[in-house]
Structure 1
Amino acid sequence: MAIKLDMVGIVVADMSRALAFYRALGFDIPEEADGRPHVEIAQEGVRIAFDTIDVARDVYGGWEQPAGHRIELAFRCDDAEALNALYGRIVERGYEGRREPWDAFWGQRYAIVADPDGNLISLFA
């Protein structure tokens, strides 16, 4: 039996705030989604789902605020210039930059930001 990654789920404290961040990353998310408890976006065969804490409690039978770095989402940019520009836009909009763009030893241009819920988001080219 083969399996395929289909969806990554993110629990969010404030749907509107979380979706604003992912729009700033470049995802096309309709504004009317801000008031929904569950939102999904698709990109080339993989979905990203956003659920409110209440939805997570209902699905999992409870929910506790996680601590520490648990998972990383990494998004590929077209090139180093695009990565630098995206990082700048994210930080200018008031989101947390965890590590400014740098040329990593493994050959990629890399940067790290945090979404409003503290999840680390890597940008690379």
Structure 2
Amino acid sequence: MSLRLSMVTLGVADVAAATAFYEALGLVRGAPSEAAVTFFDMDGVILALYGRAALADDAGVAAMGDGFRGLALAWNVTGAAAVDAAIARAVAAGGRLVKAPERAFWGGYSGYFADPDGHLWEVADNPGFPFDERGALRLPEA
């Protein structure tokens, strides 16, 4: 059995509001979605939105506060203009600009936004990580 990232579930304060935000970014709600949970197919990885308290209860842990969670999701694109456009789109949809796009120490260009629940997203153009023919990000070959 190989380890694969198949689903990311974000605990959110309001499923309907979070759903509207991600739909404004262009995601399409999947058929199994309902009031308590929304699913988006992100070309092989499912993004799920579920109530924060319900998710904590399901895992048997205490709900976390609103501070840094030690996690950032990444949205890789091609070119600085695409990074700028993606950040602008997220902010227009109700996200919060966390770090304006800029040249990065690792040679790319990136910035950060937070969704309405504070989940961090980095939008990056990383010339060292190529996309394959399906548009999936790949690690560079040694």
Q: TM-score range by the shorter chain?
A: 0.7 to 0.9
Q: What is the rounded CA distance, in whole Å, between the counterparts of 1:104 and 1:114 in structure 2?
A: 19
Read off the aligned partner of 1:46 and give its amino acid letter. V
**1:41 aligns to 2:54 (yes or no):** no
**1:55 aligns to 2:62 (yes or no):** no
Q: Secondary structure at the match of 1:27?
A: coil
| CA RMSD after TM alignment | 2.1
Distance 1:8 1:114, change over 3 A: same
Q: Displacement of 1:44 after TM fit?
A: 2.2
Q: Displacement of 1:122 after TM fit?
A: 0.6
Structure 1's consecutive aligned runs of 4 or more residues displaced over 3 angstroms after TM superposition are: none
Q: Secondary structure at the match of 1:16?
A: helix
Q: What is the rounded CA distance, in whole Å, between the counterparts of 2:45 and 2:92 in structure 1?
A: 28
Structure 1 gaps of 5+ residues are none
Q: TM-score, normalised by structure 1?
A: 0.82
**1:107 aligns to 2:113 (yes or no):** no
Q: TM-score, normalised by structure 2?
A: 0.73
Structure (1 or 2) with the greater helix fraction = 1
By relative contact order (CA 8 Å, sep 6+), the higher-ranking structure is: 1
Q: Displacement of 1:80 after TM fit?
A: 1.6
Q: Displacement of 1:57 after TM fit?
A: 4.5
Any conservation in 1 of the 2:94–2:116 contact (CA below 8 Å)?
Answer: no
Structure 2 gaps of 5+ residues are 126-142
Q: Secondary structure at the match of 1:65?
A: coil
Q: Name the counterpart of 1:121.
A: 121
Any conservation in 2 of the 1:56–1:63 contact (CA below 8 Å)?
Answer: no
